[in-house]
Amino acid sequence: MSQQLLDLFRHECEFSNYIATGNEITVANLQSFSSQFSHIYGETLSGKTHLLKAWVNLANQKYHSGIYLDVKTEPSAEYLTALNIDEYRFIAVDNIDCLQEEQQIELFNLFNHIKLNQKNNYLLTSSTINLNFSTLRSDLKTRIHSGLVFALKNLTEDELLNALTIYCNRESIGIGNNELKYMLTHYTRNLGLLIKQIQNISQTATIEKKPITTHFIRQLMANPT
C-alpha cells in the first residue's frame, strides 16, 4: 500500500506540472526554445532540475533528440567529450557550478563547436548561484552569458501560499489554507522543500486515515520519518 501511495507522487517532469508563479517569463522562453543558449540559476530545490528535464522532455516530444546530464551524478568529463551533438540537438547540463577544471574545458569546447560550426543545437545549463560569483573559468562564463540568463525568483509569502494551493488542488490533497500558512511560518520558505513535506504529510495521513490538521502537521514535523 505504501509503495502504491508513493507512486501517486511520481510525475514526469513537464512544463504543465511546474508551478511557474513568479517565473512565467523563464518558462515561456524555455517552452518556445527562444534562444540557442540559455542558463537558469536559483537556490537548491527552486525548480531548476524540473525545468531542465521538462525542456528535454518537450524536445524529445517534438524532435526526438534531447538529453539531460547532471554534473553531480557523472563520474568524469567523458560524457561531454563523447557526446554526439548530431544525435542530440537539445542538450541540458545541470549544476554546472560543480564542474571540475577538465569538465569546464569540455563544456567550453562544446559551446565553441556549436558556435563556430553553426550547428543547430540548443544548450541549456543551470547553477545554484549567479555565475558572476562562481569560480568557473571566465571564458566559459562569457560563452554562457552570450545567451539568455534567467534567475529563478524567490517567492513572497502570498505567492508561496498561492503556489502551494495550486499544487494541493492539482494533486487533490486535502490541506487547508490555515495549515499551509502554519507550514510557511514554522517550516521553510523553499517551495521544493514545502512540496516534499506536503507529499510526506499527505501520504502519512492517507496511511493513518487521518485528516490533515495543524496538530497532525506539528506532530509529523516534530517527528520526521
pLDDT above 70 for 155: yes
Q: What is the mean pLDDT of the chain?
A: 87
pLDDT attached to residue 22: 84
pLDDT digits (tens, 9 = 90+) for 65-117: 999 999 887 554 567 777 888 899 999 999 999 998 988 999 999 999 999 99
Of 99, 148, 97, which is closest to residue 122 (Cα–Cα)? 148
pLDDT attached to residue 75: 55
Q: For residues 20 and 28, give the distance between their C-alpha atoms in angstroms, rounded to a whole number.
A: 10
Hey, is 121 helix, strand or coil? coil
Higher-pLDDT residue of 53, 22: 53
pLDDT attached to residue 190: 76
Half-sphere exposure of 109 (CA within 13 A, CB side): 14
Hey, is 7 helix, strand or coil? helix
pLDDT attached to residue 102: 87
Q: For residues 142 and 127, give the distance between their C-alpha atoms in angstroms, rounded to a whole number.
A: 15
Question: pTM value?
Answer: 0.77
Give the percent of the chain with pLDDT over 90: 60
pLDDT attached to residue 10: 43
Reading the block at residue 78, the C-alpha cell is 567523458
pLDDT attached to residue 116: 92
pLDDT attached to residue 9: 39
Segment 33-36 long-range contacts (CB within 8 Å, at least 24 positions apart)? 33/59, 33/90, 33/122, 34/148, 35/122, 35/147, 35/148, 36/114, 36/121, 36/122, 36/123, 36/147
pLDDT attached to residue 225: 56
Give the percent of the chain with pLDDT over 70: 92
- Least confident range from 41-55, 76-90, 145-159, 209-223: namely 76-90
pLDDT attached to residue 191: 79
pLDDT digits (tens, 9 = 90+) for 172-197: 999 999 999 999 888 887 777 888 89
